[in-house]
Amino acid sequence: VNLSTHFTCSHTPRTTGRGGGTGLLISKDWKFDLQPPPTGHGSFESHAVTVTHPVKIHFVVIYRPPGQLGNFLEELDVLLSNYPEDGTPLVLLGDFNIHLDKPQAADFNTLLASFDLKRVSTTATHKSGKQLDIIYTRCCSVDNTLVTPLHTSDNFLITANLALTPEAAHAPTRVTFRRNLRSLSPSRLSSVVASSLPSLSQFSALDTNSATDTFCSTLTSCLDNFCPLSSRPARTTPSAPWLSDVLREHRSKLRAAERKWLKSRNSTDLSVYQSLLSSFSADVFTAKTSYYHDKINNCCDARTLFKTFSSLLNPPPPPPQSTLTADDFAVFFTNKTRTISDQFSTPQTEDNFTTTNAHSFSSFSPLSETDVSKLILSSHPTTCPLDPIPTHLLQAISSSVIPSLTHIINSSLHSGTFPSAFKQARVSPLLKKPSLNPALLENYRPVSLLPFIAKTLERAVFNLLSMFLVQNNLLDSNQSGFKSGHSTETALLSVTEALRLARAASKSSVLILLDLSAAFDTVNHQILLSTLRKMGISGTALQWLNSYLSDRSFMVSWRGEVSKSQQLATGVPQGSVLGPLLFSIYMTSLGSVIQKHGFSYHCYADDTQLYFSFQPDDPTVVARISACLSDLSSWMNDHHLQLNLTKTELLVVPANPSFHHNFSIQLGSSTITPSRTARNLGVVMDHQLSFTDHIATTRFALFNIRKIRPFLSEQSTQLLVQALVLSRLDYCNALLAGLPACTIKPLQLIQNAAARVVFNEPKTTHVTPLLIRLHWLPVAARIKFKVLMLAYKTTTGTAPTYLNSLVQTYAPARSLRSASERRLVLPSQRGSKSLSQTFSWTAPSWWNDLPISIRTAESLLIFKKHLKTHLFRLHLTN
């Protein structure tokens, strides 16, 4: 066979002596790039290429002369460091002249293992019976390895097959559409919109849908005149945000100087290259520092700061490779909900139902222009593709559009019609976890986006409807989701308190965490409207809510394409303002089913927790749990909700640490067994209520902050740490009150490390002076601060009702000076185990120790300020 016909010889000749060298024969059908040879390496010869077609793979050929290793391992380490572990296959092969059975091979094997290189198993490759010619691979597999002796050489011929996957055909270039808004003057846009909209008298004559369509089309057309949409190819990877045009020009000159030096190997060219490299590195450092500083200091709240920080450190990856289309996602999301809904029979509702509720809500009050202006300007400026103009522009020109918007909102409320233009949602599929297979539809969750003006109208209805429900006590007091003054922390505190009090009374407890499948998406509209009627909602108010729920649809946006529209027959809109409130109303009758079995419960949106306590030797526990879950399953079925028993978790808290309950719950074909830990609203709860697993699994962003610390000022670092680290330390930390100091010590170590990062100090630096300079309370004081803040709210009646019942204000039997000191009753521990970890004991205990001037503060703001100063002096300066 004439090798020159089918192969290209790529080689590096030996620089000294006669003959020799290293090289590769590469198929002429393959494309490859020659890698530059290492400089200053004298212990071995090498030749390296990177094949770019039909697959990408690195080949490195090595020849090491026999003898001592010398600098071989160090020089090989430098060579292999040029090939990052980015998933590209690497094949390292050659005559290493190293006896693998000798002690000197140990360091060699360790080095290659550190680069994740694996040796291909072969028989002897030299006539001496040793394996001197070796093949190592990374990110690829080898099979059919064969060793053949040769009469013309002491070394044997090794043949093998590499299992490689050819590159997929390049997908068509994605195109993005954008507007150049930088040069747009909001004042000019405002004047053009004001002159383009119909006069107020003409606009007022339009019905709700016509007025909405006219308003949106006018805004879009005015924006198109100033900033028309332009298309451009989408970048596969985002460019560095701090890279300016000047830096790009410097980088081009640097690369040109590098190429010139690599070609000439001239010392003058090397000096020019090094000078440009030093200058460019300094310019990049300055640009990064300025960029991070501006970005972080322009963030107005912790939420924006967190998003900014995440985008800086973890820029969005390129879209995963898959053949999925927007229509695939649309059909999948629709069928998932339909499959659940089709299991249930048509609900039987009373058409002529008359409410027995003493209060009624039949119409919405109209809004003034001032009310609408507050709604527009106080809302977070989120924008979705369905908005006629970006939300920040709408807020900037609000003075010109408020009269028209007020008419649209009041017309909608008066006529009981939700605008048809606002019933469309745009859904973006989001991979649930980066580690999941991106080719499977079930690994994605839908993220629903709604127009800003639609959510403004919803917010107006939400304020009016929730006011009626709160004034008439129609909402479940054990539902903490989306309620002012309520949070995941107050919900968990209520549940944990009940479990701790039971243990103090020598009782065991059971905590059941229910899981619902697509709960928001399967809400039946007939059942929801019937529930609203029972609460006294009627007339145009009920008509409006019916219009809001009906005839809704969505389209999926995926990789620049949009799916066909899909109709929604069930569910409350996700991503909406009203959705969570309507879901809470839908679930109001669940509580009576739970309480009928003697269970207590607490809800946060669709997360429901059931719990009850019992004597450790109670033989009826399993039967009670089974009966309750059976009735709950029936209630869920009647309300078109699917209880997912396979994901429902059971936690048994024994009366004492040495006691163990061994039972399981059988319901239909599902078996629920107790777990040692369970994640509940972001907190890992364990069966001993020690929260050690929660503390141990908490991870912080300190490592990532350290990565960009050289580019941050002290102030910017402090902002980041407070938003990203201290916020995690403080999350639900009221649950840790009363725990031993050794339990919360890991959290204190995290705070200590965070303080050192702010000031860029080594880990041996004493931390107390740093905490004083930052005015940070230690972790133990932060826990006490949170508990006392909740205690203040209970004394003023602003805490959730379920927390108010845990503490009692001290009222002496006769007139005493202490009556005006706002003390709390400290419960007696007589006849029970220690209450030291319960809120009902720690809150009064810590509260009564406060100076009277703090306990009697006139407002929460004053109390908060004086409390922090008091704790700061107590824990740090004293």
Inter-residue contact 444 to 576 (CB < 8 Å): no
Inter-residue contact 212 to 421 (CB < 8 Å): yes
| 424-431 and 444-449 strand pairing | antiparallel
> Looking at residue 682, what DSSP letter applies?
T
The token pair at 769 is: 């002076």
**Digit-coded pLDDT (tens) for 662-691:** 888 888 888 899 999 999 999 999 999 999
Task: Flag whether the pTM goes above 0.85.
Answer: no
Inter-residue contact 504 to 832 (CB < 8 Å): yes
Enclosing H/E stretch for 33:
strand 31-34
DSSP string, 524-581: -HHHHHHHHHHTTB-HHHHHHHHHHHTTEEEEEEETTEEPPPEEE-SSPPTT-SSHHH
Q: What confidence tier does 264 reach under pLDDT thresholds 50, 70, 90?
A: confident
The C-alpha atoms of residue 138 and residue 151 are separated, in whole angstroms, by 32
More confident residue, 317 or 638: 638
The C-alpha atoms of residue 388 and residue 837 are separated, in whole angstroms, by 54
pLDDT for 588 beyond 80: yes
> Looking at residue 61, what DSSP letter applies?
E
Distances (CA, A) of 406 to 215, 222, 370, 388: 12, 20, 9, 17
Q: Which residues pair with 91 in a beta bridge?
A: 59, 137
The token pair at 73 is: 């391992």
Question: Of 136-140, 303-307, 592-596, where does the model show the most confidence?
Answer: 592-596
pLDDT for 73 beyond 80: yes
The token pair at 536 is: 């006294």
Q: What confidence tier does 74 reach under pLDDT thresholds 50, 70, 90?
A: confident
CA of residue 324 relative to chain centroid, distance: 23
Geometric angle at alpha carbon 281, from 280 and 284, rounded to 5°: 85
Inter-residue contact 212 to 406 (CB < 8 Å): no
- Enumerate residues 6+ apart whose C-beta is below 8 A from 788: 843, 846, 847, 850, 867
Closest CA to 203 of 409, 414, 372: 409
What's the pLDDT score for residue 82? 80
Q: What confidence tier does 299 reach under pLDDT thresholds 50, 70, 90?
A: low
What beta strand segments (E) does 149-229 contain? 157-163, 175-178
pLDDT for 346 beyond 70: yes
Geometric angle at alpha carbon 528, from 526 and 534, rounded to 5°: 105
**What's the chain's length in residues?**
878
Inter-residue contact 697 to 685 (CB < 8 Å): no
Enclosing H/E stretch for 27:
strand 21-27
**Digit-coded pLDDT (tens) for 383-411:** 899 999 999 999 999 999 999 999 999 99
Which amino acid, 117? L
Q: Could you tell me what percent of the chain has a pLDDT over 70?
A: 91
Cis peptide before 54 (omega within 30 of 0): yes
The token pair at 435 is: 């580690």
The C-alpha atoms of residue 506 and residue 656 are separated, in whole angstroms, by 7
pLDDT for 625 beyond 70: yes
For the stretch 122-129, contacts whose Cβ atoms lie closer than 8 Å and that sit 24 or more positions apart, written own/partner, are 122/147, 122/158, 123/147, 124/156, 125/155, 125/156, 125/158, 126/154, 126/155, 126/156, 127/154, 127/155, 127/156, 128/154
pLDDT for 166 beyond 70: no
Give mean pLDDT, residues 28-45. Answer: 84
Q: How far apart are the first and last CA of the chain?
A: 90
What's the pLDDT score for residue 167? 53
The C-alpha atoms of residue 461 and residue 456 are separated, in whole angstroms, by 9
What's the pLDDT score for residue 320? 53
pLDDT for 700 beyond 60: no
**Digit-coded pLDDT (tens) for 213-236:** 999 999 999 999 888 877 777 665
Q: What is the dihedral of CA 180, 182, 187, 189, to 10 degrees?
A: 0
What beta strand segments (E) does 635-759 contain? 642-643, 649-653, 665-667, 670-672, 674-675, 677-680, 683-686
